[in-house]
Amino acid sequence: MFKRLPDAPAETVILDFDGRRIEARVGDTVAAAVLAAEPGHTRTTPVSGSARLPYCMMGVCFDCLMEIDGVPNRQACLVTVEDGMIVRRQIGIREAAE
Amino acid sequence: MQTADVIVVGGGMFGSAIGYGLVAQGLDVVMLDEGDVALRAARGNFGLVWTQSKGLGVQCYQEWSRESAHLWHDFAAELRSETGIDVAHRGGGGLELQLGEAEVEERKRFIEKMRNQAGPEGFDCEIIDRAEIQKMLPGVRLGDELAGASFCPHDGDVNPLLMLRALHSGFTKRGGRYLTEARVETIRYDGGAFVAETASGRITAPKILLAAGHGAPRLGEMVGLSIPIRPQRGQVLISERIAPMLPACISAVRQTNEGTIQIGNSKEDVQYDDGTTLAAVRRMARRAVQFFPQLAGVRLVRNWGCIRVLTPDGAAIYDESESHPGAFVATSHSGVTLGAANARHVAKWIATGEAQPGFERFSARRFDVQAAA
**ipTM, interface predicted TM-score of the complex:** 0.85
Tell me: the pLDDT tens digits for A29-48? 999 999 999 889 999 999 89
Tell me: the pLDDT tens digits for B3-22? 999 999 999 999 999 999 99
Chain A nearest CA to B216, separation (Å): 34
Q: Please indicate whether residue B1 or residue B289 has the higher confidence score (pLDDT).
A: B289
For chain B, which residues lie within 8 Å of any Cβ of chain A, measuring from their own Cβ? Answer: 141, 240-243, 245, 258-259, 294-299, 301
- How far apart CA B276 and CA A7 sit, in angstroms, is 41
Whole-Å CA distances, B226 to B216, B313, B334, B349: 10, 15, 20, 19
Nearest to B54 by CA among B268, B337, B330, B284: B337
Contacts for B358 with CB less than 8 Å, ≥ 6 apart: B60, B63
- pLDDT, residue B199, reads 87
**Out of A65, A93, A98, whose CB is closest to B259?**
A93
Tell if the CB–CB gap between A46 and B259 is shorter than 8 Å.
yes
B359-365 own/partner pairs: CB under 8 Å, 24+ apart:
B359/B318, B361/B60, B362/B60, B362/B61, B362/B64, B362/B315, B362/B316, B362/B317, B362/B318, B362/B319, B363/B317, B363/B318, B363/B319, B364/B225, B364/B226, B364/B227, B364/B228, B364/B311, B364/B317, B364/B319, B364/B329, B365/B319
Nearest to B177 by CA among B31, B33, B13: B31
SS3 A96: coil
- pLDDT, residue B371, reads 57
* Contact indicator for B168, B147 with CB cutoff of 8 Å: no
- How far apart CA A72 and CA B248 sit, in angstroms, is 25
pLDDT over 70 percentage in chain B: 99
- pLDDT, residue B231, reads 97
Tell if the CB–CB gap between A62 and B301 is shorter than 8 Å.
yes
* Contact indicator for B352, B25 with CB cutoff of 8 Å: yes
What is the widest separation between alpha-carbon atoms in chain A?
Answer: 47
Q: Where are the alpha helices (DSSP H) in B174-231?
A: 216-220
- pLDDT, residue B37, reads 87
Name the pLDDT band for B373 (thresholds 50, 70, 90): low
- pLDDT at residue B63 above 70? yes
Mutate to test the interface with B, among A74, A75, A93, A98 (most CBs of B within 10 A): A93
- How far apart CA A1 and CA B11 sit, in angstroms, is 46
The residue-averaged pLDDT of B343-371 equals 92
A10 in reach of chain B (CB within 8 A): no
CA dihedral B167→B58→B210→B320, nearest 10 degrees, is: 120
- pLDDT, residue B94, reads 98
- pLDDT at residue B261 above 70? yes
Tell if the CB–CB gap between A46 and B241 is shorter than 8 Å.
yes
A14 in reach of chain B (CB within 8 A): no
- How far apart CA B352 and CA B269 sit, in angstroms, is 39
Other Cβ atoms closer than 10 A to A45: 18
- pLDDT at residue B155 above 60? yes
- Angle (CA) A62 A68 A72, round 5°: 60
Q: Please indicate whether residue B368 or residue B350 has the higher confidence score (pLDDT).
A: B350
Whole-Å CA distances, B41 to B6, B47, B191, B233, B334: 23, 11, 35, 10, 10
* Contact indicator for B261, B239 with CB cutoff of 8 Å: yes
CB pairs under 8 A between A and B: 34
Please name the residue of chain B whose CA is at the shortest distance from the CA of residue A71.
B297
The residue-averaged pLDDT of B336-362 equals 97
Name the pLDDT band for B224 (thresholds 50, 70, 90): very high
Positions of E strands within A18-62: 20-25, 43-44, 51-52
pLDDT over 90 percentage in chain B: 92
- pLDDT, residue A98, reads 74
The residue-averaged pLDDT of A81-86 equals 98
Q: Which residues of B touch A77 (CB under 8 A)?
A: none
- pLDDT, residue A8, reads 81
The whole-chain average pLDDT of chain B stands at: 96
Name the pLDDT band for B370 (thresholds 50, 70, 90): low
- pLDDT, residue B223, reads 97
- pLDDT, residue B245, reads 95
Contacts for B2 with CB less than 8 Å, ≥ 6 apart: B30, B177, B201, B202, B203, B204
The residue-averaged pLDDT of B128-141 equals 97
* Contact indicator for B330, B74 with CB cutoff of 8 Å: no
Tell if the CB–CB gap between B299 and A73 is shorter than 8 Å.
yes
